[in-house]
Every structure is written in structure tokens, then in C-alpha cells.
Amino acid sequence: MEPASNLKTLAKWCLNHIPQFVMLVFLTGLPMLKFVPSNVRLILQDKILDTFVFQHILPMKNIFTGLAFFLFFVFTHNCLQAQYDTIKYVNGTRQAVKIIEVTKKVIKFKNPKDTMGPTFVVNIKNIEQFILKGGCVDLKTEGYLNCVKDPAFGIIKSEDFTKNIFSIDAFQLTNSHLQVSYEHIFKSRTFGIMGFYNQGFLSGKDSLTYNRIECKINGSAYYKNNYGGLDFKFYPYVHKKNTFWVALGVESGRATNMNIDYHSKTAAYQYGAMYYTDLRNPFAYYENKLYLGYHVNAGFLYRINKHFICQGSVSVGVSQFGKDPDPNPLVKSPNYAYYLKANLGVLLGYAF
């Protein structure tokens, strides 16, 4: 075939497909028309893409020509999608967005199809990955490198991990008790064991002591003078600056039991003597008892720095106190008295 004939055939083919070329040029050039509002550009692109596929590519009689235009359409469509920013949440969900601002704490973005609409704010802790259409932004202080969050970010390194902690409970000090504790976290960092000792400063033989809340929850009858125990702790998550934990614990110690009794009097009459109790004159007497306690704890370990820590905890459980049998042999009484217990703790400590 003559070169002139080839050029004529090519020119004829181009003239027959002018509408397709015009649309392709418009599709590729539309994103650069900055004077057109972005939401208008996106709507136009979606409409044109639909029209381009269903009205021009699919009806083509030449299958190879249609395939060529379809492949070019796919390439163009991918280029259009690339102009969206993308957010991937920690739960795996992906969202196309227009990112407005990225700070150390939050990401601000808009709906890419409604850039005149509201601005959404998401905590950066909930973002696993973000990809900007113009490239990546590193946030090394938050663990992001090349737009991807380092899964090991925030985990305490071996050389900075202190597994022995000596603490004093500040909350117990405000309640006239001194509680000291020592904790050891095992090499796996999953389990730990803590021993503690608590010393009360009040007198168990002072009736005013039993008006305190710590005694009222024990039936207003027992004051814990001193006790010690063990907590077996479980850390379900990796150790970071702030780490959650749960524990099962047991304790044992000495408590003072306040008992109320009444004076008995004897009255003589003609046929003998009669004993009776004068309910108008009660009196208290005190006995020391051993007790056991069982509890479940939950709390957090916050590392201020490598050596100083703060722990907060909530504890609920049961206290088991020894109980004297009823003086009347005909009355069957239990050997122990059980009361619910609850406690809050704020520990300040040194780690090494």
C-alpha cells in the first residue's frame, strides 16, 4: 500500500472517532481546570465517563478498536481516582477523602464530592494509613513513615523497659493507711506479680473508727489493722506509655471486731432470783480476729518516664472475717462473716 494511502486511511479513521478523542482529552484535562470548582469537576467526570463507556465504546463494531478505547478508559479512570486522598482506618475500612490538614493528633478532611460541605475530624490514633494524591507526609512523632503507621510505634524498647516497681498508694494515705507494694513483671511482659502490705493508723478500740466508710461496708463491726497480700496481674496488650491490666488477688491480716453487749442484772423476789438484760445500758467490747480477702482488680500502668510511674486501680471482692459462736448453744451461727469490699488505688512508684 502506498504511504499516501496509509495516511489517508489514518486520517479517515481519526475523523470518524473525533467524539471519542474530544471526550478523552476533556477527561484528562478536566482535573487541571482549577477555575472549575472541584465538586463540579468530579460530577462532570462521573457523568462523562458513564456516557463515554455506554454510548461510544460498547456500541463500536470493531472489537479491537473498542478494546483499545476501553483500556484507555480504564487507565484514565485510574488516573482520576488517584486525585483522591485515601484514608485506611485501623479496622481495615478505606475511604476516599480530600485531606485538609494533618496534625499530630487529628486528620481533617472533606467529602471529595462535596468540598463545600462540612469538615470531618478523626483522631489520628484511628488511622492506620493515609495516602495523599501528591505524595506522602511523614509524621515520625506519631509513628507514620511514608504514610504508613509503624505497628511497633510506642512499644517500650527492651533497654527502656523497667520490670521492677516499688510503689506507695497515695489514696490509702488520705484514708489513714500506709500501703507499700513491690511488683515484678516477667520477661514475657504478659504476666506480673505484686506483693503489698497495708498498715492502719487508727485505733480499732475507738468506737468512732467504726463510723468510717471502710468499716461501714464491713457491717460497722470490723476495722482492718494491718494486712498483706498478692496480686497476680495480666497485661493483655503490649507495653506502651499507658498499659491496661487486670488481676486476681488474695490478702490476709488482722482486724478488730467491735461487739455490742448489754448489762445483765439480778432481781430477787419471794421465790428466788431472776436474771434480765437491761437494754438501756449497752456497752462495747473488742476482739482481734484474723481475716481473709479475695478480690479482682483492673487498672492502668502509666509510665511518666523510664523510672517513674503512676498506677490507677479499681478493686472489688469479698472479705471473710472470723466470728464468735452465739453464746446460746441452741442457736446455730456461722463461723465466718462475709462482706463485700471495694477499693480505689492511686499508686506512685519508682521503676528499675
**What are the grid coordinates assigned to 302, written together?**
502509666
The answer as to CATH 2.60.40 being correct for domain 158-351 is no
Per-residue pLDDT reduced to its tens digit, 73-107: 555 544 444 567 888 888 888 888 888 888 878 88
Residue 30: which pLDDT band, with cuts at 50, 70 and 90? very low
Q: What is the pLDDT of residue 198?
A: 96
DSSP string, 279-341: EEEEEEEEEEEEEEEEEEEEEEEEESSSSEEEEEEEEEEEEEEE-PPPSSTTS---SEEEEEE
Per-residue pLDDT reduced to its tens digit, 153-191: 788 988 999 999 999 999 999 989 999 999 999 999 999
Q: Which residue has the cell 491490666?
A: 245
Per-residue pLDDT reduced to its tens digit, 258-307: 877 655 555 555 555 555 555 566 667 788 888 999 999 999 999 999 99
Burial class (CB in 10 A: 0-12, 13-18, 19+), 58: exposed
In a 3-state reduction of DSSP, which class is residue 12?
helix
Cα angle value 22/23/28 (rounded, 5°): 100
Average of pLDDT values for 26-54? 50
From 42-46, 136-140, 178-182, 231-235, the region with the lowest mean pLDDT: 42-46
From 66-80, 94-108, 195-209, 235-249, the region with the lowest mean pLDDT: 66-80
Q: What is the pLDDT of residue 80?
A: 46
Q: What is the pLDDT of residue 21?
A: 53
In a 3-state reduction of DSSP, which class is residue 235?
coil
- Amino acid identity of 337? A
In a 3-state reduction of DSSP, which class is residue 170?
helix
Q: What are φ and ψ of residue 237, in 5° steps?
A: -120, 165
Q: What are φ and ψ of residue 236, in 5° steps?
A: -75, -15
Which segments within the chain are labelled E, that is strand? Answer: 85-89, 94-102, 106-110, 120-123, 127-131, 144-145, 148-149, 164-169, 177-185, 191-200, 222-234, 242-269, 272-303, 308-322, 336-351
The domains of the chain are located at: 3-81, 87-149, 158-351
- Is residue 222 predicted with pLDDT exceeding 70? yes
DSSP string, 18-41: HHHHHHHHHHHHGGG-TTS-HHHH
- Is residue 56 predicted with pLDDT exceeding 60? no
Q: What is the pLDDT of residue 301?
A: 97
Average of pLDDT values for 231-235? 97
Q: What is the pLDDT of residue 50?
A: 55
